Chain A
Amino acid sequence: MTKLKTLAAGIALLMPALGMSQELKTADEYRAALQDKFANPATLIADRGESLFKEKRGPKNASLEKCDFGKGPGVLKGAFAELPRYFKDTNKVEDLESRIVTCMVTLQGFTEAEIKAKLFGSQQVNEPNTDLEVLALYIALQSDGMKINPPLKHPKEKEARMVGEALFFTRHGLMDFSCATCHASDNKRIRLQELGNFVGNKKDAQKTMSTWPTYRVSHGLARNMQHRMWDCMWQMRLPDVDYASPVTVALISFLTDQARGATLNIPGIRR
């Protein structure tokens, strides 16, 4: 026992010398403790998504069961792993969240304005996730364990990926920031938060993109990639970027391509 303690103390003393600071080690331990998927609150939130998906709603009193997410009407298994992709009916590239909006309009008869009136549950006033967030989570989870592999054949898919990359490097706003300001170098952190390198390090892109949608402990809510895009741009002090807009879909196309081949491990859980 004493020997073990001495060993532990020795390792602790060596940590800084090995380049791993105590504060980062503590943060890593915290993250590791969050990895139990069956204890992930997002798993429970997704259950509500299943009933919402099957429920007849909207002016047309229809469910979303006939929605085509790219693999045929109603096919959810593996659909998220192959998004974003080009859709003929809308003649544009859509990610999961964009496609949900499309189907809520075409199948259920909601207006886009109605759907977008309340996008995200607010962590500030302890709200639950919105229907939109819950639906995205549920549908995404039907691709858990599958490899990220969106098509990149249609010219519009190629354009979205290419413009997404340019947008990743485009600086604007009061802070002169681009995505690359924080996410283009290895081993950087903002405050104590480690930052992924999404252009020069495939592993970082894969680690991040394979674990969204995610439960965010600091929000007490499940969050999707559209929220992450809005959140980053809000922190960049930009105006609100529109949900399912050309910018967010292009950035998600680029980031998803950077992570191609990774196995989805969702829902994720993070700070």
Chain B
Amino acid sequence: MNRIRLIALTCAALGAATPSMAQKGPKIDVQALANQYIVASFLPGEGQDLSRLKQDETIQACNQYRDNPPDKVAAAINEREAKTIKYPDGGKLMGDWKNGEKLYAGGFGMRIGRIEPDPPARQKGGNGGNCYACHAADPKEIAFGTLGPSLMGYGKLRGTGDDIIKYTYDKIYNAQAFTACSQMPRMGYHGILRPEQIADIVAYLISPDSPVNK
């Protein structure tokens, strides 16, 4: 019974990793075909940016294994992504929690194209982090999303030690340094948030004065 279960589990795992194996006849590289479709479907020209479609080595691996990479691949991703993390000038990882609060809720920025691009005039303060769209934090905010875990009471639960501050900064900068193929965007790596902005969000999550920890 256990052996049968094990075989079934193994098959399921393989199926998830290589969907094309279930197909009959000559093996088709479905992902390669999907990538060809992408090349043929996104528009070039003014206001567009086709470089955003480029899949880096890490995302290619995540796509190949549908976000469930084998241990060796996962370790390589962690190592590669950890190397991308940069820190603010002066190295201060706890910034201004009040600005962090705005960044946590602000979802504006980086939408492009010919139809409805974000107006550059509104871009001046940089992008928002849009963190609340996926993570609860402030107990007073009811419109939080649930795609990511709740961060309510983050600092109260974890303390304000240097190690937790650094972990939090690194996690926001590049979540894949810890969890290969994490669903969380690599906020620092992709330049969505600047290092100083990430430090502000760290303060929002950790500072005892922040509403997150009230």
Given contacts A163-B34, A171-B62, A234-B111, A245 and B41 within 8 Å (CB-CB): yes
Does B134 lie at the interface of the complex (its beta carbon under 8 Å from any beta carbon of A)?
yes
Does A235 lie at the interface of the complex (its beta carbon under 8 Å from any beta carbon of B)?
yes
> Does the CB pair A166–B115 fall under 8 Å?
no
Given contacts A181-B183, A189-B145, A238-B52, A167 and B190 within 8 Å (CB-CB): no
> Does the CB pair B50–A239 fall under 8 Å?
yes
Contact of B59 among A124, A176, A188, A193 (CB under 8 A): A176
Contact of A239 among B30, B43, B143, B145 (CB under 8 A): B43
Does A192 lie at the interface of the complex (its beta carbon under 8 Å from any beta carbon of B)?
yes
Does B21 lie at the interface of the complex (its beta carbon under 8 Å from any beta carbon of A)?
no
In chain B between 30 and 76, which residues have their CB closer than 8 angstroms to a CB of chain A? Answer: 30-31, 33-35, 37-38, 40-44, 48-50, 52-55, 59, 62-63, 66-67
Q: Which residue on chain A has the smallest CB distance to residue B175?
A: A176
* Chain B positions within 8 Å of A167 at CB level: 34, 37-38
In chain B between 169 and 214, which residues have their CB closer than 8 angstroms to a CB of chain A? Answer: 183, 185-186, 190-192
Output the least CB separation between A141 and chain B (Å).
25
* Distance in angstroms between the alpha carbons of A238 and B51 in the assembled complex: 9
* Chain A positions within 8 Å of B183 at CB level: 181
Does B142 lie at the interface of the complex (its beta carbon under 8 Å from any beta carbon of A)?
yes
Output the least CB separation between A125 and chain B (Å).
11
Output the least CB separation between A257 and chain B (Å).
15
In chain A between 219 and 260, which residues have their CB closer than 8 angstroms to a CB of chain B? Answer: 230, 234-235, 237-242, 245-248, 250
> Does the CB pair A175–B190 fall under 8 Å?
yes
Q: Which residue on chain B has the smallest CB distance to residue A245?
A: B41
Q: Which residue on chain A has the smallest CB distance to residue B190?
A: A174
A-B contact count (CB 8 A): 138
Contact residues on B (Cβ < 8 Å of other chain), bracket = 35 or more
> Does the CB pair B142–A192 fall under 8 Å?
yes
Output the least CB separation between B107 and chain A (Å).
9
> Does the CB pair A172–B145 fall under 8 Å?
no
> Does the CB pair B37–A191 fall under 8 Å?
no
Contact of A242 among B33, B41, B191 (CB under 8 A): B41
Does A159 lie at the interface of the complex (its beta carbon under 8 Å from any beta carbon of B)?
yes
Does A51 lie at the interface of the complex (its beta carbon under 8 Å from any beta carbon of B)?
no
> Does the CB pair A190–B147 fall under 8 Å?
yes
Output the least CB separation between A231 and chain B (Å).
9
In chain A between 112 and 128, which residues have their CB closer than 8 angstroms to a CB of chain B? Answer: 119-120, 122, 124
Given contacts A166-B31, A181-B147, A239-B43, A174 and B53 within 8 Å (CB-CB): no
> Does the CB pair A169–B147 fall under 8 Å?
no
* Distance in angstroms between the alpha carbons of A136 and B136 in the assembled complex: 39
Given contacts A176-B185, A191-B132, A170 and B143 within 8 Å (CB-CB): no
* Chain A positions within 8 Å of B134 at CB level: 190
Contact of B133 among A178, A190, A238 (CB under 8 A): A190
Does A89 lie at the interface of the complex (its beta carbon under 8 Å from any beta carbon of B)?
no
Given contacts A172-B52, A237-B52, A159 and B41 within 8 Å (CB-CB): no
* Chain B positions within 8 Å of A119 at CB level: 115
> Does the CB pair A170–B41 fall under 8 Å?
no
Contact of B113 among A178, A182, A239, A247 (CB under 8 A): A239
* Distance in angstroms between the alpha carbons of A181 and B147 in the assembled complex: 8
> Does the CB pair B41–A247 fall under 8 Å?
yes
Output the least CB separation between A244 and chain B (Å).
10
* Distance in angstroms between the alpha carbons of A181 and B66 in the assembled complex: 11
Contact of B33 among A166, A175, A187, A248 (CB under 8 A): A166
**Nearest 9 A-B pairs (CB), nearest first?**
A245-B41, A247-B41, A240-B113, A239-B48, A166-B34, A246-B37, A175-B185, A190-B145, A192-B143
> What residues of chain B have their CB less than 8 Å away from a CB belonging to chain A?
19, 23, 28, 30-31, 33-35, 37-38, 40-44, 48-50, 52-55, 59, 62-63, 66-67, 110-116, 132-134, 142-147, 183, 185-186, 190-192
Other contacts beyond A175-B190, A191-B132: 19, CB < 8 A? A162-B30, A165-B19, A166-B19, A166-B33, A167-B37, A169-B67, A172-B55, A174-B192, A176-B185, A176-B186, A188-B146, A188-B147, A190-B134, A230-B115, A238-B52, A238-B53, A239-B112, A242-B43, A250-B37
> What residues of chain A have their CB less than 8 Å away from a CB belonging to chain B?
21, 23, 119-120, 122, 124, 159, 162-163, 165-167, 169-178, 180-182, 187-193, 195, 230, 234-235, 237-242, 245-248, 250
